[in-house]
Amino acid sequence: MVTLKFFIDELLTETPGAGDRYAENLAREVIRRAPANCEVIGVVSQVSPEQESALFNRLHGITDIETAKLTRKALAKSWQHGLFTGVFGEGLYHAPSLFAPLREADSGGAQQTVVTVSDTRAWTHPEGLSPANIRWQKAQLKRAWQYADAVVTPTHALAEQVGELYDFRDRLRVIPGAAPLGLRVPDSDAMRQEIEMRLNLPSDYILSLGSLEPHRGIDRLIRALALPQLTDAVLVHAGSDIFGETSIDQLCADAGVARHRVRALGYLTDAELAVAFHRATVFCLPASYEGIGLSVMEAFRSGTPVVHTDLPALEEISQGASLQVSLNNPDTFEQRLAIALSNVMHDVELQQTLTTAGYDRAPVYSWGYSGELVWRLHADL
């Protein structure tokens, strides 16, 4: 029996981001698509019995879960310095992040470790990251270069960025994400209507998703709402309404946008997010950095027109199925963003064209295929 040990700490995040959603959906498909005579064991830092039970419930078919006696924080700090890297023993390891015990394989030992890089913000966009987080990411990527058997990225664009930091050569592999498997509008009309009423969704709106971290660009999107092209537009934001000293209230006040025009919903369940996507007139991702692009895939599956920046990762995912706004010339970015969003909101034919293009693009990405790629990668190694 071949055992693959899959790191599942990301499933414990209280406010999951794209990397955490990538980890959970990939874990489920790796378990479901395990070849004959293969099994998957979850490995995780110190958890309570209740958390361990919840992990079993979320990962149907997982053989077992091994827990460490140290907390995630303690393990992260230890592994950064090469300590306690044998805490889970030898074996085949797959980490959907850089959170992994990277070490030189013992002579004759059966050690194989694959890690994942979901962004290079510690190098390119460190604003919004703590100094400790920046140091940890840089240290772990260096250890991955020294000891990992392979390094996975969700896009080819990100693989190029990682390859510019360290020469991984043929150890770099791409395993893309997809829209979450649970992102479906409820079949029940009553349930769907109940969600719509609870979220108080307007008839037409721009949808944005994620945190208020600087690279997400929500501040620029709110400033675009103040321009004549979007005078009557409403923004619905799914995610936190505060980051550090930045808040939706402050961004609206600074931009001169009436607060009622920006509705912050907080973090949503899959069903709630599916309804929010389905009802949106357009989804906007005004980011200055993006490594995974799951939200674009989510919009495509939902049939929602998409406007995003011309980042390489997003261009790779959309392949012309969206409207793109160039990040060149920052002085005119908000004006051009407002024009693009206005064009979509006021042109039904354009909406239909983008919806069709998104539907055509969505099947390219499948968690099932990504799960198979994980097993192929470990077999190749």
DSSP of 355-371: HHHHHHHGGG--HHHHH
Mean pLDDT of 108-117: 84
Mean pLDDT of 49-55: 96
Q: How many Å apart are CA 287 and CA 140, to the nearest integer?
A: 25
How do 91-94 and 111-116 pair as beta strands? parallel
Q: How many Å apart are CA 119 and CA 110, to the nearest integer?
A: 29
130-168 per-position pLDDT tens digit: 999 999 999 999 999 999 999 999 999 999 999 999 999
| Position 107 pLDDT exceeds 60 | no
Q: How many Å apart are CA 107 and CA 370, to the nearest integer?
A: 32
Mean pLDDT of 332-348: 98
Q: ∠ CA(57), CA(59), CA(61), 5° rounding?
A: 100
Mean pLDDT of 71-92: 95
Closest CA to 311 of 331, 332, 296: 296
- Kindly write down the DSSP assignment for every residue of 169-216, as one continuous string: GGGEEE----S-TT----S-HHHHHHHHHHHT--SS-EEEES---GGG
Q: Hey, what domains does the chain have and what are their CATH numbers? A: 2-178+366-380 (3.40.50.2000), 189-364 (3.40.50.2000)
| Position 290 pLDDT exceeds 50 | yes
| Position 39 pLDDT exceeds 90 | yes
